[in-house]
Amino acid sequence: MTTVIPHSELVKRAAAWVAERRAELSELSTQAAQTRPSLSDLVDEAGARFNLGPLETEMLLDLFRNCHTDQPQE
């Protein structure tokens, strides 16, 4: 029997996946830093893995871009 997962849960899982991947990749040596995927690439992959639409994918990208800024968005 197939379990239906609410769409909001998919977005949460995608955000968690991106955060985990970023943490894993930040631990790589500086030599591997040149081959790391960009944030945009990670979010695109998360969108594909978790079946997110373009709006949800863009929202995730904005979330991760803005979560490390000290200045509020205007």
* Domain carrying residue 45: 37-69
Mean of the pLDDT values across residues 53-69? 89
Question: Residue 74 falls within a domain, yes or no?
Answer: no
For residue 41, tell me if it sits in a domain.
yes
Question: What DSSP line would sit under 22-65, residue for residue?
Answer: HHHHHTS-TTGGGGSPPHHHHHHHHHHHTT--HHHHHHHHHHHH
pLDDT digits (tens, 9 = 90+) for 5-55: 787 899 999 999 999 999 888 877 655 666 788 999 999 999 999 999 999
Q: Is residue 42 part of a domain?
A: yes
Q: What is the pLDDT of residue 32?
A: 61
Please check whether residue 46 lies inside any domain of the structure. Answer: yes
Residue 29: the pLDDT is 63
pTM: 0.77
- Whether 54 is covered by a domain: the verdict is yes
* Number of domains composing the chain: 1
Give the pLDDT of residue 7: 79
Is residue 49 in some structural domain?
yes
**Residue 66: pLDDT above 60?**
yes
